[in-house]
Structure formats: C-alpha cells, structure tokens
A and B are shown apart, each in its own frame.
Chain A
Amino acid sequence: MQLPTVSVRALLPALVVLGTAGLVLVLDLLPPRARKGHLAVLSLAGIVLALLSTTWLWGEETRAFHGMIVLDGYALFLQLVICYAAGLVVLLSIDYLPERGLESGEYYALVLFATVGMLLMAAAGDLIVVFLSLELMSLSLYVLAGYFRARLASGEAAMKYFLLGAFASAFFLYGIALVYGATGTTNLDRIGASTGRDSLLTIGLALLLVGFGFKISSVPFHMWAPDVYVGAPTSVTVLVATGSKTAAFAALIRVLVSAFRGGQLEWPFLLWALAAATMTVGNVVAIAQSNLKRMLAYSSVAHAGYMLVGLTAGGALGAGAVLFYLLVYTFTTAGAFGVVLLLERATGEGVSLADYAGLARSHGILALVLSLFLLSLIGIPPLGGFVGKFYLFGAAVRSGYVGLAVIGVLNSAVASYYYLRLIVYMYMREPEDAPPPSATSFAGGLALAVALAGVIVLGVMPAPFIDLAQAAVTPLLR
C-alpha cells in the first residue's frame, strides 16, 4: 500500500491557522494567566497570515492526497472570505469577552479550530473530507455557542445546535453512504464522471442537501438558527452567520457542480423550491421580530435564500454570483452584528428594537454605520449588497428563472420594511430610557471600519472582485 505524499502547499492556509491554535493552547498555560489579550492578538496574527497565504497562493491548482484536497482558485477565494470572517470575529471578541469577565484561551483556540474546519471545507475534493471538516467546524461551534455557561439562553442554544446538528450530520453521512453505494466512490470528480443515474444517487443527494440545508440555514432546516443566534455570545453568532455559512456554501457548490452536474440529476427544481421558500419565510418571519439578534437571524436565513437563487441559476454566472454575494454578505452581516455587539449590555440585554430608539443622538456614528449595513442588506446602491443582488438576480434571469428573480426582488421589498424600521427607531424616535452605555472598543471599531470599507468598495468598484469570482468558478465547470 502506497502512502500519499504530504503536500504542505495544498493545506497551507489551514495549517497556519491550526498551528496558531496549538500555540494559543500552549501559551494559555503560561503566564500571564490573568489577561488573555495577547492570545487574541496572536490568533488575529495567525488569521492574517493565513489570509496573506491565500493571496500568495493565488493562481495555484493543486490536487493533493489522491484528490481529497483540491486547492484551486475556487478554494482560495472562499478561504479568503472565511479568513475575513474569522478575523472580524476575533477583533470583535477582544473587548467583548473581558467586559463580561469571560476571556479565556480556549475561546480563541476553538474559534481557530472552527476556522480550520471551514478552510478545509472550501478545499475538500472528497465527501469524506467534507464530512470531517464539517464536523471539526460544527463541534467547535457547539462548544462556543454555550460559552456563556452562566446564561440559560446560551446553554439552550448550544444544546439545540448540537442535537439538531447531530441529526443533520447523520443525514449527511447516510447520504454519503448512499452515494458511495451508487457510484463506488466518494471522490467528487469520480462521482461526476460516473454515468449512473439511479434512484440511490438521487436519494443520496437529497440527504446531502438536508445536511447542507441545515448548515446554510435554509428553510425548512432553519429552525435552530434564531435560537442559536440569540443565545450564543454575539461574537460567536457572527462566526455562525458568516464563516460557517460561507464554508457550507463552499462545499455545497463544489458538490453540486463537480459531482452532480446539471444533466445528471434534476436538482434545479429542488433548489428552486428551497430558494423561494427560504427567502420568503426568512423575510416574512423577520418582520415580526423585536429582538435584533433574532431579526438578523431570520434575515440571514433570507440571505441564504438569495444565494440559493444563484445556485439554482447555475453555470459560471450563478456560482460566481454566489461567491461574490458571500463576500459582500460576510462584511455586511459581520458589520451589522458587530454594531449590535458593541451596544449590547454586559447582561446580554439592550438588543431589542426599543433599545435603539434615538440612537442617532446618543451614538451618531454607530447609528450611521449600522444604517449603511442595513441599506446594503436591503440592496440599495451604491453599496455592496446591491451589486450582489444585481448579480444573483441577473444570473437567474439569464438562466430563464424570471419567476424566481421576481420572487427575489419582491422579497427585497418586504425585507426593506424591517430593516428600515430599525432605521426609524434610530433616527426618527426619541430614546425611551437611558441610552445604551457608550461603547469604546478600538478593536471593535477597527472591525467595523474594515467591514464598512468592504461594503463600500464592493459597491463602488465591484468589477475586479466580480472578475475574481468568475475566474474562481470556471475551473469547477470544466
């Protein structure tokens, strides 16, 4: 039996983050024991290094470990997005955790382990690797969701996330087994090359979609999302909403495009229905929410629906649109949750609509920044969210899914109602009681500045990023 040669290059970004995680665990045992700020800085440095390594590897096309790891432009693009998400999470955590007296080394180590899982999902060329990295990511996130152990909601979030996540993983694993039974392989390329088209394969794909549907929080597998988003520490919510969703989409697109090509199975109809249901349910239910974290949770469900529109459209254009949208969505959602995080009281309160009444007077800049993120989520030009939606719906119209595009834009109009309602509270109402405590966090401010810069640059100068996204997906379609 021949042992595979180890390719460091193909794993480089993940290895960098993994090494940092190990280092964090070791340094956590050494003095100073009281303060953990240096561990946060180290984690951030590791993530930035991984981010730089993705740009250094740009243009790389490596298949390693018998095709189990595929480091191509597609993987690198998504690893870049994941690194941004993880970096923003660490920045937002630096002052958030000590204020609540809960700073610890294992928090940062777990964030880094989750990031490793995400990075590997983007580069997975085999269903087994998809599963393993999915589990690495999920297990770390289950623990992180329950990180505020004194809080009931946090414990509930972790429990719910874990139980439902375990179900989803079981479905996913069963799906892999059926696909293996139908094709005799778990390698995505070889599944794609197999010409068989039997019911076993169809059922296998359906089960895989259940597993992915859970991770991207698509209707009807979204039930966990609101509770987990609300109960988890807000910094963890950011990671669940951006990084894990990006990683799940990364693996989903690769599985659909390289293993289950359009002609082989009739999956566009399935995706069509998922997209329409996810957008509509997410937006309609979000209207009824008065807790901002819950509202943003449903909004993130709706945004998964928009991205499913791009997936339904298919082709280089559809997949490229999803990639671009993931980039915009990561900045926008991390930014919106970031403002909520900075204004949250140490007790976990201060996240309801009424708490934001008159925010423009007490925190003018935060109110303005949050408004810009919300406008980008609605899709108002010239912000990134507009170009993202333009691109997604453009792809849908191109592929003949005009009906789905119409459902999508009408959903945007519905969504504008609840996003604008928050702006109404901030700008057009007087504060009801004492304004939220003033948030002074240099790191948090830096995170918001990075996210805002991303949203504006992607809205005003999207052309280079669109080209990158297109170039990233073309190798998949060969």
Chain B
Amino acid sequence: MTPGLLTAVTFLPALGGLGLALVPRRRSDLARVVALAVAVAVLALAVPLYLAFDGSRADPQFEERAAWMPTLGVSYHIGVDGISLLLVLLTAFLSPLALASAWRAVEERTKEFGIAMLILETGMIGVFVSLDLFLFYVFWEAMLIPMYFVIGVWGGPDRIYAAIKFVLYTLVGSLLMLVAILALYWQHGAATGVYTFDLPVLSRYVLAPGLAQDLMFLAFALAFAIKVPLFPFHTWLPDAHVEAPTAGSVILAGVLLKMGTYGFLRFCLPLFPDASIRFAPWVFALAVIGIIYGAWVSTVQPDLKKLVAYSSVSHLGFVMVGLFTLTAQGLVGGIIQMINHGLSTGALFLMVGMIYERRHTRLIADFGGLWRVIPAFSALFLIVSLSSLGLPGLNGFVGEFLILVGAFQVNRLVAALATSGIVFAAVYLLWMCQRVIFGPVTHPENRRLADLSAREWAVLAPALALIVWIGVYPVAFTGKTEASVEALIAQVQSKAAAAGARAR
C-alpha cells in the first residue's frame, strides 16, 4: 500500500483549488479545464484505493497517523474501512461530473466556482476518512462554507435565504454535537486516564447506559438527522436544492446527505450502542414517516427539482431504516443505497439541469412528449428514474431489497410501511416520466430542443454505467464492505451487552 495515498486524495482538491486561484480572472475557459483536471486527477488517485483495498479485513486500511496537538490528544489520524471507502469513491466520482455539468451553466465567477467546489471536495473526503473526532469535526464544519457560497453566489432567485437556512440548520446541530464530543472526551479521559479524540480508542470504551449517554447520542443524532435529513428536520433541503445550481444539487444530494447517514453509522452506533438500540424505534418511526411523507409530497410537486429533492427525503428514510436494523443485510443495504441514491438522484439532478439549460423552466407542466423530440435524453431520463424507483437489474433494487430483508427480521410493521414507499416511488417517478417525456408535444417551444451533446453524454455515461454495474454485479461493492459491517455489528452488540451487564 502506498503511504500518503489517502492524504493525497484528501488534500489534492484543496491544493488544486489554491492553484486555481492563480489563474487570471479573465481566463474562465482555463479555470474550467484546471478545475475539472484536478477533480479527474483525484478520481484517478482514488481508484487505486478501491483496487488495493482488501475486502476481507474489517480494520481501517491506508491508515496514516501523525501528532497534531499531543497535549489535547488530537492527532491527524485517517484511514478507510469498507464503509467509508465506497463513500470516498462516490465523492471522487461525482465531483468531476458536477464540475463538467457546470461547463455552460456557470458563466459568472467561474474560477471562484471551481475553487469552492474543490475545497468542498476536500471537506467531504475528509469527513469520510477521519478517524479522529476533532479532525472529523474540522472537516464537517469547514465543508459548510464552500457549500454556502455555492448556493448563495451561483444559486437561483431565492438563493440567499436558502443558503443561510442551510448553514444555520446545520450549524445548530453540529455545535451541539461539539459539546457532546467534548463531554465524551472528558468522560473517557476521567474513566481511563487516556485523553484522546482518537475514534478507534473511544469506540472501544463502554459508556455506562443512562442519561449522559442518551444526551450524547441525541446531540450526535440531531446533527446527523438534520444532515440526512430525517423528518421533521428536512425543511432546509427543498429550499437548498431548488436554489442551488445543478452542480451544487448533485453534490448536496449525492454526497452531503450521506454525511448524515455515515455519521450515524460511524459515530452513533459504535460510540453509543446502548442508546442506539433503545432509540431505534424512534428512528424507525421518523424514517418511515419520512419515506411516506417524502413520497407523497413528491407526487404533488409541480417543479421537477423539488420533486427530486423530496424524493431524497423518502430514499434517505430507507437508508436510515436499514442502518438501525443492525442486521448485516440492513446495513449493507443501507450503505449500497447511499451509493445508489448518490448516483440516481445525482443523475436526475444533472438531467433536470440539462433540460433547464434548454428551456429555462423546471415546471413539469411546461414539458410533455419529449420522447419525440429528444429521444436520447428521454431514454436516459427513464432509465435513471427506473433505477431510482428500484427496478430489478438496476442499482436501486439491490439496496432496497437488502434493507427490507433486514427490516423484516427486526420489525415487520416497519418493513411493511417502508415497502409502501417503493410503491409510492413508482407512482411519483413514473407519473413524472409520463407527463414529461410521453404523450404529445403540448408546447411548441419544445419542438426545437437539441438532444444530448457530446459533453452531456460524457457526463451521464459514467453514472449510467455504474447504475447498471451495481444492479447486475453488486458484489463488486458489497464485497468490500461486508467484513467491516459485520465487525461493526459485533462491536455494537458486545458493547451493548457489556453495558447491560454493568447496569445489572
């Protein structure tokens, strides 16, 4: 294994962003090329991570550790296991697509856009690779600011309101998490004499069940629930998605929301297993409400982008159900579903952005009969919609099936209600396709639309390839993650048992 590879993947985007600052302001064409080249280089560095990763091992790989603030027990400790590996790859994969999609859409301050997106990429990868709570928190908060700029500077008419709402929601949650991190740090230090923010060390510590653990769990859970977003903390999401530029929506839906579910998986479950198990019914309830509510609200949206945004609430509810089943199938399904949602919803946002560039409207009522005019676009739109609703053979089916298998073992009612979400997904996605691409051409403006350009094919083809690949051969991805998932479940159960034994 190459030493320093993970650090390179993490910091190359930000370094590239700083380099991009040197490009003259007038050369926006050059700025686009440099930004995309950096993002592609990051992907090229990330692929060896996937190839060299040993899926039979559960411990973190490509680990790097260096002292940072030794007196406080803060270290630069990074590594990937089977769970974070896939999310790092997803981030590295979606970032160049997002940048390429903005080729024509972002005409103003192109250079600054590239800088913001690249710094954002470092923040996102950093969140996934951090194995130190302090380091994780640094990335978690630092990533907010570039996203704030992406929405606020390059967004739609109501962008300022959406950007501030996004930051305030996230900040309230994450600041309370900071207090919980500190409380955990001191409690662990007082109990063991080792003052550290190192995640593997803290994960081994068995916290006594009780109010303190519950409060810490809730503080972490609030931060992550806002990010996921879990009902009723989702209200920032439609605003942010609708106002963000296409590239911002792709990253927001594709990666940022996963930081919430990843947080539950990486921090809440192993650090507070007892509380996680006890609060699981509540999480199930909120997740199921989110699945059904998100689907219903999607159904009645007149705006394509809002429809896709609310469908995220529904899909992420599935992921949460999978994670809190604490079964191997549920967790693997949840993780795969995170990737699937990133690909399918990311692709949907890309395509909504493409049609918006042509027609400057996103209202479903303004379209109809697109299949006759732009068949290639329409075919891809249909395939992506089908993958999003879980058609067997495409990626969405794999994740949802595994989640439901997990859920049936734990709680039949939850599984039954969640299944209804799949039915509703078929309703709103197919009805959307029907109104947008089938039927007669109802608006004369739509008759002269241009079909996909070579650049747009280049943006969509990789996403489609992965959608089919995961659908047909999921083992390529589940195989990397199973060992880590089983180790996590074993850890949660043994810690919960130990805590229970101590309580008795």
Interface pick from B166-174, B284-292, B415-423 = B166-174
Contact with A along B300-316 (1 / 0, CB 8 A): 00000000000000000
Contact with B along A443-472 (1 / 0, CB 8 A): 000000000000000000011001100100
Q: What residue of chain A has the Cβ atom nearest to residue B25's Cβ?
A: A364
Question: When A420-B164, A427-B149 are in contact, do A397 and B172 touch as well, CB less than 8 Å?
Answer: no
B191 sits at the interface (CB 8 A): no
B3 sits at the interface (CB 8 A): no
Neighbouring A residues of B137 by C-beta, 8 Å: 381
The answer for the CA separation of A380 and B141 in the assembled complex, in Å, is: 6
B152 sits at the interface (CB 8 A): yes
A11 sits at the interface (CB 8 A): no
Neighbouring B residues of A398 by C-beta, 8 Å: 182, 186
Within 8 A of B (CB), among A394-420: 394, 397-398, 402, 405-406, 409-410, 412-413, 416-417, 420
Within 8 A of A (CB), among B153-205: 153, 159-160, 163-164, 167-168, 171-172, 175-176, 178-179, 182-183, 185-186
Contact A413–B175 (Cβ < 8 Å): yes
- Among B70, B148, B183, max chain A CB count under 10 A is at B148
Q: What residue of chain B has the Cβ atom nearest to residue A421's Cβ?
A: B164
A424 sits at the interface (CB 8 A): yes
The answer for the CA separation of A405 and B185 in the assembled complex, in Å, is: 14
Contact B145–A380 (Cβ < 8 Å): yes
Neighbouring B residues of A462 by C-beta, 8 Å: 69
| CB < 8 Å neighbour of A466 from B71, B160, B163 | B71
Q: What residue of chain B has the Cβ atom nearest to residue A381's Cβ?
A: B138
Question: When A390-B178, A398-B186, A417-B164 are in contact, do A410 and B141 touch as well, CB less than 8 Å?
Answer: no
Contact A381–B142 (Cβ < 8 Å): yes
Q: What residue of chain B has the Cβ atom nearest to residue A403's Cβ?
A: B179
Contact B179–A405 (Cβ < 8 Å): yes
Contact A405–B182 (Cβ < 8 Å): yes
Q: What residue of chain B has the Cβ atom nearest to residue A389's Cβ?
A: B178
Within 8 A of A (CB), among B101-148: 134, 137-138, 141-142, 144-145, 148
The answer for the CA separation of A208 and B483 in the assembled complex, in Å, is: 63
B453–chain A nearest beta-carbon distance, Å: 30
A375 sits at the interface (CB 8 A): yes
Neighbouring B residues of A470 by C-beta, 8 Å: 71
A96 sits at the interface (CB 8 A): no
B227–chain A nearest beta-carbon distance, Å: 15
Contact A406–B179 (Cβ < 8 Å): yes
The answer for the CA separation of A462 and B68 in the assembled complex, in Å, is: 9
A425–chain B nearest beta-carbon distance, Å: 10
Contact B71–A397 (Cβ < 8 Å): no
Contact A397–B182 (Cβ < 8 Å): yes
Question: When A381-B142, A382-B138 are in contact, do A394 and B182 touch as well, CB less than 8 Å?
Answer: yes
Contact A420–B148 (Cβ < 8 Å): yes
B72 sits at the interface (CB 8 A): yes
Interface SS of A by simple majority: helix
Contact B142–A380 (Cβ < 8 Å): yes
The answer for the CA separation of A406 and B172 in the assembled complex, in Å, is: 10
Neighbouring B residues of A466 by C-beta, 8 Å: 69, 71-72
Contact A409–B175 (Cβ < 8 Å): yes
Contact A467–B179 (Cβ < 8 Å): no
Contact with B along A209-243 (1 / 0, CB 8 A): 00000000000000000000000000000000000
Question: When A394-B182, A427-B149 are in contact, do A413 and B69 touch as well, CB less than 8 Å?
Answer: no
Neighbouring A residues of B186 by C-beta, 8 Å: 394, 397-398
Neighbouring B residues of A413 by C-beta, 8 Å: 168, 171-172, 175
The answer for the CA separation of A39 and B168 in the assembled complex, in Å, is: 47
Within 8 A of B (CB), among A312-336: none
Within 8 A of B (CB), among A368-406: 375, 380-382, 386, 390, 393-394, 397-398, 402, 405-406
Question: When A386-B141, A402-B183 are in contact, do A416 and B171 touch as well, CB less than 8 Å?
Answer: yes
Neighbouring B residues of A416 by C-beta, 8 Å: 167-168, 171
A265 sits at the interface (CB 8 A): no
A428 sits at the interface (CB 8 A): yes
The answer for the CA separation of A390 and B323 in the assembled complex, in Å, is: 31
Is the interface on chain A under 10, 10 to 19, 20 to 34, or 35 or more residues? 20 to 34
Q: What residue of chain A has the Cβ atom nearest to residue B172's Cβ?
A: A413
A456–chain B nearest beta-carbon distance, Å: 13
Contact B152–A393 (Cβ < 8 Å): no
The answer for the CA separation of A412 and B172 in the assembled complex, in Å, is: 9
| CB < 8 Å neighbour of A393 from B68, B69, B160, B178 | B178
Contact B71–A393 (Cβ < 8 Å): no
B193–chain A nearest beta-carbon distance, Å: 15
| CB < 8 Å neighbour of A463 from B69, B142, B183 | B69
Contact with A along B449-476 (1 / 0, CB 8 A): 0000000000000000000000000000
B491–chain A nearest beta-carbon distance, Å: 26
Neighbouring A residues of B160 by C-beta, 8 Å: 424, 428-429
- Among B149, B160, B168, B171, max chain A CB count under 10 A is at B171
The answer for the CA separation of A216 and B159 in the assembled complex, in Å, is: 38
The answer for the CA separation of A463 and B69 in the assembled complex, in Å, is: 5
The answer for the CA separation of A424 and B68 in the assembled complex, in Å, is: 34
The answer for the CA separation of A409 and B180 in the assembled complex, in Å, is: 11
B4–chain A nearest beta-carbon distance, Å: 19
Contact B164–A424 (Cβ < 8 Å): yes
Q: What residue of chain B has the Cβ atom nearest to residue A394's Cβ?
A: B182
A365–chain B nearest beta-carbon distance, Å: 11
Contact A410–B182 (Cβ < 8 Å): no
Contact B141–A409 (Cβ < 8 Å): no
A329–chain B nearest beta-carbon distance, Å: 19
The answer for the CA separation of A421 and B152 in the assembled complex, in Å, is: 11
Question: When A397-B179, A428-B159 are in contact, do A380 and B144 touch as well, CB less than 8 Å?
Answer: yes
The answer for the CA separation of A416 and B153 in the assembled complex, in Å, is: 18
Contact A412–B175 (Cβ < 8 Å): yes
Within 8 A of B (CB), among A264-299: none
The answer for the CA separation of A416 and B148 in the assembled complex, in Å, is: 12
- Among A375, A410, A424, max chain B CB count under 10 A is at A424
Contact A427–B142 (Cβ < 8 Å): no
Neighbouring A residues of B182 by C-beta, 8 Å: 390, 393-394, 397-398, 405
Contact B152–A406 (Cβ < 8 Å): no
The answer for the CA separation of A466 and B163 in the assembled complex, in Å, is: 34
Q: What residue of chain A has the Cβ atom nearest to residue B142's Cβ?
A: A381
The answer for the CA separation of A375 and B178 in the assembled complex, in Å, is: 17
The answer for the CA separation of A410 and B68 in the assembled complex, in Å, is: 28
| CB < 8 Å neighbour of A410 from B163, B164, B175 | B175
Contact B179–A420 (Cβ < 8 Å): no
Neighbouring A residues of B183 by C-beta, 8 Å: 397, 402
- Among B145, B159, B168, B185, max chain A CB count under 10 A is at B145
| CB < 8 Å neighbour of B142 from A382, A402, A409, A417 | A382
Q: What residue of chain B has the Cβ atom nearest to residue A428's Cβ?
A: B152
Neighbouring B residues of A417 by C-beta, 8 Å: 164, 168
Contact B71–A463 (Cβ < 8 Å): yes
The answer for the CA separation of A417 and B71 in the assembled complex, in Å, is: 33
Neighbouring A residues of B141 by C-beta, 8 Å: 380-381, 386
The answer for the CA separation of A424 and B172 in the assembled complex, in Å, is: 19
The answer for the CA separation of A410 and B178 in the assembled complex, in Å, is: 11
Which B residues form the contact surface with A (CB < 8 A)? 68-72, 134, 137-138, 141-142, 144-145, 148-149, 152-153, 159-160, 163-164, 167-168, 171-172, 175-176, 178-179, 182-183, 185-186
Besides the known contacts A381-B142, A406-B179, A466-B71, 18 further A-B residue pairs in the complex with CB atoms under 8 A apart: A380-B141, A382-B138, A390-B178, A393-B179, A393-B182, A394-B182, A394-B186, A398-B182, A409-B178, A413-B168, A413-B175, A420-B148, A420-B167, A424-B160, A427-B152, A463-B68, A463-B69, A466-B72
Complex A-B: 12 CB contacts under 8 Å: A390-B134, A397-B179, A397-B183, A412-B171, A412-B175, A424-B152, A424-B160, A424-B164, A427-B149, A427-B153, A429-B160, A463-B72
Which A residues form the contact surface with B (CB < 8 A)? 375, 380-382, 386, 390, 393-394, 397-398, 402, 405-406, 409-410, 412-413, 416-417, 420-421, 424, 427-429, 462-463, 466-467, 470
Q: Which 3 A-B pairs have the closest CB atoms?
A: A409-B175, A381-B138, A463-B69
